[in-house]
């Protein structure tokens, strides 16, 4: 009976959590507080972050958001963070801040891919290709099996021709209207989904948290997919 009581208490604890949700992957970002109860997640409040100033804004905005809602840092039960793909600088800033907070508070981190959020938002209950424009004529592409939750198959960076070839074989989803038009002109049907926001990110993160898909601060890594310019253009090391 005592063991059963402890398990019930733990279940209630996991199903009533305050979540801190951050996204610094793009030109604009966000910080949000969400409350998870049973299968539902409700965003309590969120604030936008201006691109290019994440390093100056992120921590003060987290503090201001907690104060506004009369929470303390210690009230946060888990951290949900977009780990990529996206801006190298933005992702590094976001991950560094959450690593520090999670280490201090000893709370789990749930990394979420934007492609994962897109695949879930598609409403497709089978294989789905989630896509984002990566610039330079390339696309971030994630192939998922979507049922109750998205299960990643592979995420990769593809040139246009390879992306279009793949999209002809698998249901494709994107929030990018220009990408959808490109596919449409090639005779490919694409599901246009909303741009991932705090509520969508929180929902996917909550599903992963319930499934135990968390990492420690030491394990948290950015999901860049593309190599940095420094890596691409680095001169080969010559050995004597």
Taking only the tens place, the pLDDT of each residue in 204-229 is 999 999 999 999 999 999 999 986 44
The rounded mean pLDDT for the chain is: 87
Whose tokens are 């879930």? That residue is 120
Among residues 203, 208, 213, which one has the least CA distance to residue 37? 203
What CA–CA distance (Å, rounded) separates 172 from 151?
A: 15
Q: Is residue 84 within 8 Å of residue 224, measured between CB atoms?
A: yes
Average pLDDT over residues 78-103: 96
Q: Is residue 21 within 8 Å of residue 198, measured between CB atoms?
A: yes
153 token code pair: 């198959």
Q: Which domains does the chain have, with CATH numbers?
A: 2-113+196-223 (3.30.420.40), 123-192 (3.30.420.40)
Q: Is residue 15 within 8 Å of residue 36, measured between CB atoms?
A: yes
| pLDDT score of 231 more than 80 | no
Rg over CA atoms, the chain: 19
176 token code pair: 């990018």
Q: 195 burial class (0-12, 13-18, 19+ CB within 10 angstroms)?
A: middle
| pLDDT score of 203 more than 90 | yes
Q: Is residue 97 within 8 Å of residue 22, measured between CB atoms?
A: yes
End-to-end CA distance of the chain: 71
What CA–CA distance (Å, rounded) separates 145 from 151?
A: 5
Taking only the tens place, the pLDDT of each residue in 1-26 is 443 433 334 444 456 899 999 999 99
- Pick the more confident residue, 126 or 139: 139
Tell me the whole-structure pTM to 2 decimals: 0.87
What CA–CA distance (Å, rounded) separates 107 from 110?
A: 10
What CA–CA distance (Å, rounded) separates 134 from 178?
A: 12
């Amino acid at each position: 009976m005592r063991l059963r009581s402890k398990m019930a208490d733990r279940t209630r604890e996991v199903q009533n959590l305050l979540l801190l949700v951050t996204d610094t992957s793009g030109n604009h970002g966000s910080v949000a507080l969400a409350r998870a109860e049973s299968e539902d997640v409700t965003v309590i409040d969120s604030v936008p972050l201006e691109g290019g100033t994440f390093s100056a804004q992120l921590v003060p905005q987290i503090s201001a958001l907690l104060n506004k809602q009369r929470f303390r840092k210690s009230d946060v039960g888990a951290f949900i963070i977009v780990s990529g793909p996206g801006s190298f600088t933005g992702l590094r800033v976001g991950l560094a801040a959450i690593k520090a907070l999670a280490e201090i508070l000893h709370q789990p981190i749930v990394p979420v891919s934007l492609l994962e959020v897109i695949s879930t938002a598609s409403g497709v209950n089978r294989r789905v290709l989630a896509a984002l424009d990566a610039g330079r004529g390339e696309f971030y592409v994630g192939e998922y099996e979507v049922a109750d939750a998205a299960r990643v198959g592979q995420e990769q960076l593809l040139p246009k021709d390879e992306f279009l070839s793949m999209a002809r074989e698998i249901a494709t989803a994107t929030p990018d209207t220009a990408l959808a038009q490109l596919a449409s002109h090639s005779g490919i049907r694409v599901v246009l989904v909303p741009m991932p926001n705090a509520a969508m990110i929180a929902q996917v993160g909550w599903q992963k948290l319930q499934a135990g898909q968390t990492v420690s601060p030491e394990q948290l890594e950015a999901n860049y997919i593309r190599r940095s310019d420094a890596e691409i253009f680095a001169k080969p090391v010559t050995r004597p």
